[in-house]
Chain A
Amino acid sequence: GENVEQHPSTLSVQEGDSAVIKCTYSDSASNYFPWYKQELGKRPQLIIDIRSNVGEKKDQRIAVTLNKTAKHFSLHITETQPEDSAVYFCAARFSGGYNKLIFGAGTRLAVHP
Chain B
Amino acid sequence: GAVVSQHPSWVICKSGTSVKIECRSLDFQATTMFWYRQFPKQSLMLMATSNEGSKATYEQGVEKDKFLINHASLTLSTLTVTSAHPEDSSFYICSARPGRAVGELFFGEGSRLTVL
A residues adjacent to B (C-beta < 8 A) = 32, 34, 42-46, 49, 89, 93, 97-106, 108
Contact residue among B36, B49, B93, B108 (Cβ-Cβ distance under 8 Å from A98): B49
Question: Which chain A positions have C-beta within 8 A of B110?
Answer: 42-43
Q: Does B78 contact A (CB under 8 A)?
A: no
CB contacts under 8 Å to A, within B62-116, are: 93, 95, 97, 102-105, 107-110
Contact residue among A42, A49, A97, A102 (Cβ-Cβ distance under 8 Å from B104): A49
Q: Is the CB of B102 within 8 A of A99?
A: yes
- Distance from B31 Cβ to chain A, minimum over Cβ atoms (Å): 9
Known: A100-B34, A100-B49. A105 touches B105 (CB 8 A): no
Q: Is the CB of B103 within 8 A of A49?
A: yes
- Distance from A35 Cβ to chain B, minimum over Cβ atoms (Å): 11
Question: Which chain A positions have C-beta within 8 A of B105?
Answer: 34, 46, 101
Q: Is the CB of B107 within 8 A of A98?
A: no
Question: Which chain B positions have C-beta within 8 A of A104?
Answer: 43
Q: Is the CB of A93 within 8 A of B49?
A: no
Chain B contact patch, size range: 20 to 34
Known: A43-B109, A44-B44, A104-B43. A98 touches B51 (CB 8 A): yes
Cα–Cα, bound, A98→B57 (Å): 10
A-B Cβ contacts below 8 A, count? 49
Cα–Cα, bound, A75→B36 (Å): 23
B residues adjacent to A (C-beta < 8 A) = 32, 34, 36, 41-46, 49, 51, 57, 93, 95, 97, 102-105, 107-110
Cα–Cα, bound, A65→B36 (Å): 26
Question: Which chain A positions have C-beta within 8 A of B104?
Answer: 34, 46, 49
Known: A101-B34, A105-B43. A32 touches B57 (CB 8 A): no
Known: A32-B103, A43-B110, A99-B102. A105 touches B93 (CB 8 A): no
Pairs A–B under 8 Å by Cβ, sample size 26: A32-B102, A32-B103, A42-B109, A43-B107, A43-B108, A44-B107, A45-B107, A46-B104, A49-B104, A89-B44, A93-B102, A98-B32, A98-B49, A98-B51, A99-B32, A99-B97, A99-B102, A100-B49, A101-B34, A101-B46, A101-B95, A102-B46, A103-B43, A104-B43, A106-B43, A108-B41
